[in-house]
């Protein structure tokens, strides 16, 4: 299967390291992908605050383009355009927006039919429901993929204690976006971290909201929410945090404050960065320069653990 791949705005700007490491990981696992042609911003997070129509229309336009691209594959013989067709959406905010729009149309209700009719007027065709939205974590956490990851690890994460932070967008609304048996206690990222040789920590705030959508209007509140997350991770013994959301990364990486003078900040990684490090692929040194919270303490600790 060849997957479609939607990077979104963040992965082409503030979270380039997420995009680079995600693609390096997919290539290492032998998973073929092709970036979606002519993609547009999914609207997260401003669309839902300004326009109910744009909240659904922006991701639906991308899904219509995905169906066009698959049909092009079939006409030209390019890629593996056979069903089922899935589009990988790494950014948790984009994934949430895509899943909500996809579900709205698939449910077949009056609102979904109307928005799809309007999309057809704009793009020349409706969304036909032949493309399914997936988050890479759903794919990577499948037993067969975890086995492949274990076999490809060249530099295990040496028991590094990692707090897997899913945030709210991969967990809620649970019946639409979650791919976990227990949406309030997700384990997909933990399982990937364990396959890489890390030690996932048990902690209480893995699905808490970091408040990113209020970052400008309620800065102090967002800082408080962010530090609740990082402090809980520290109290659980974490030596690093892994996330799948560029918005969460922005908060955790820039708003962390020490609870006491001189307390070290907790390094934060995209889960794909840690995976790429363990598999020995990509260009991590270029990624670390983009982090505002120094990741060297975690990397030095990892080297010490490997050498012990």
CATH code, 293: 3.40.50.11810
- Going by pLDDT thresholds of 50, 70 and 90, the confidence category of residue 145 is very high
Q: At what angle do helices 92-106 and 110-123 cross, to 10 degrees?
A: 110
Of the pLDDT bands very low, low, confident and very high (cuts 50, 70, 90), residue 307 is confident
Domain end, chosen from 82, 100, 134, is at 134
- Specify whether 231 is located in the same domain as 180: yes
The answer to whether residues 130 and 173 belong to one domain is no
Identify the domain containing residue 215 by its residue range: 144-307
Q: What is the pTM of this model?
A: 0.96
Q: Are residues 294 and 240 in the same domain?
A: yes
In a domain, 152, yes or no: yes
The answer to whether residue 171 sits within a structural domain is yes
- Kindly report the average pLDDT of the chain as a whole number: 94
Q: Indicate whether 77 belongs to any domain.
A: yes
Whether residues 149 and 253 share a domain: the answer is: yes
How many domains, the chain?
A: 2
Hey, CA dihedral for 98, 100, 106, 112, is it positive or negative? Answer: negative
The answer to whether residues 240 and 286 belong to one domain is yes
Is residue 80 scored above 70 in pLDDT? no
Last residue of a domain, one of 103, 134, 165: 134
- Summarised one tens digit per residue, pLDDT across range 4-63 is 999 999 999 999 999 999 999 999 999 999 999 999 999 987 887 789 999 999 999 999
Q: Which strands make up the sheet holding 268-270, listed edge to edge?
A: 199-200, 161-165, 240-243, 268-270
Looking at the structure, do residues 174 and 43 belong to the same domain, yes or no? no
Q: Which of 45, 8, 11 is nearest to 222 (CA)?
A: 45
Please tell me whether residues 48 and 157 are part of one structural domain.
no
Q: Do residues 163 and 19 both lie within one domain?
A: no
Last residue of a domain, one of 80, 112, 134: 134
pLDDT in tens, 183-193: 999 999 999 99
Tell me the β-bridge partners of 2: 32
Please say whether the beta carbons of 129 and 67 come within 8 A: no
């Amino acid at each position: 299967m060849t997957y479609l791949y939607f990077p979104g705005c963040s992965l082409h700007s503030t979270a380039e390291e997420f995009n680079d490491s995600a693609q390096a990981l997919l290539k290492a696992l032998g998973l073929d992908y092709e970036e979606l042609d002519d993609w547009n911003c999914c609207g997260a997070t401003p669309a839902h605050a300004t326009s109910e129509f744009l909240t659904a229309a922006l991701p639906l336009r991308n899904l219509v383009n995905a169906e066009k691209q698959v049909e092009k594959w079939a006409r030209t013989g390019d890629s593996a355009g056979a069903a089922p067709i899935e589009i990988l959406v790494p950014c948790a905010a984009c994934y949430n927006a895509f899943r909500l729009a996809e579900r709205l149309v698939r449910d077949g209700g009056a609102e979904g039919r109307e928005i799809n009719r309007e999309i057809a007027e704009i793009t020349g065709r409706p969304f036909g429901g032949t493309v399914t939205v997936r988050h890479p974590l759903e794919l990577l956490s499948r037993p067969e993929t975890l086995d492949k990851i274990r076999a490809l690890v060249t530099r295990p994460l040496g028991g590094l204690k990692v707090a897997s932070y899913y945030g709210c967008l991969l967990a809620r609304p649970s019946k639409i976006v979650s791919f976990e048996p227990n949406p309030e206690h997700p384990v997909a990222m933990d399982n990937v971290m364990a396959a890489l040789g890390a030690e996932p920590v048990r902690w209480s705030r893995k699905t808490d909201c970091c408040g990113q959508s209020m970052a400008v209007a309620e800065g102090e509140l967002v800082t408080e929410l962010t530090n609740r997350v990082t402090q809980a991770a520290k109290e659980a013994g974490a030596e690093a945090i892994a996330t799948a959301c560029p918005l969460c990364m922005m908060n955790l990486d820039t708003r962390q404050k020490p609870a006491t003078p001189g307390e070290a900040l907790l390094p934060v990684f995209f889960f794909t960065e840690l995976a790429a490090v363990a598999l020995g692929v990509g260009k991590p040194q270029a990624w670390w320069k983009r982090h505002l919270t120094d990741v060297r303490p975690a990397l030095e600790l990892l080297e010490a653990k490997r050498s012990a």
